[in-house]
Amino acid sequence: MYMAVTLVIIGLVHFRTTSTALADSSPDEKTGVFTAYTAEVAQTDSTPTITASNQTVQRGFIANNCLPFGTKIKVNGSIYEVQDRMHDRYGCDKFDIYMVDYSEAVNFGIQPLKYEII
């Protein structure tokens, strides 16, 4: 009986935590791994200021290997537009935000973040 009561309590706690987590996120939200890059040959290719979509890099651009160019996503209240690609080894859940300042990009690091396609 003690074991059954314990399992019921554990089940209720798990249900409550799962329900709360689901209520806090939008059904359209996904989680991705976000990094940052700057327009330097060492981080890109021999044309660091030109994106894969043939645009000049600018704030608000983001790289992703699966979303079509022009797709807009919302991350932490900011909107980014997919205009660049990354190395083939990165999958669909990886994003690289363009930043002007190298130290800002380094400080951004690697972050798992929720995003929404808008």
Its pTM stands at 0.74
Residues 61-90: b if buried by 16+ CB within 10 A, e if exposed: bbbbbebeeeeebbbeeeebbbbbbbeeeb
Is the pLDDT confidence value at 18 over 80?
Answer: no
Residue 24, pLDDT score: 56
Is the pLDDT confidence value at 30 over 70?
Answer: yes
Whichever domain contains 49, its CATH number is 2.40.40.10
Q: How many domains does the chain have?
A: 1
Q: Specify if 60 maps to a domain.
A: yes
- Which tens digits make up the pLDDT trace of 68-82? 999 999 999 999 999
Q: Specify if 91 maps to a domain.
A: yes
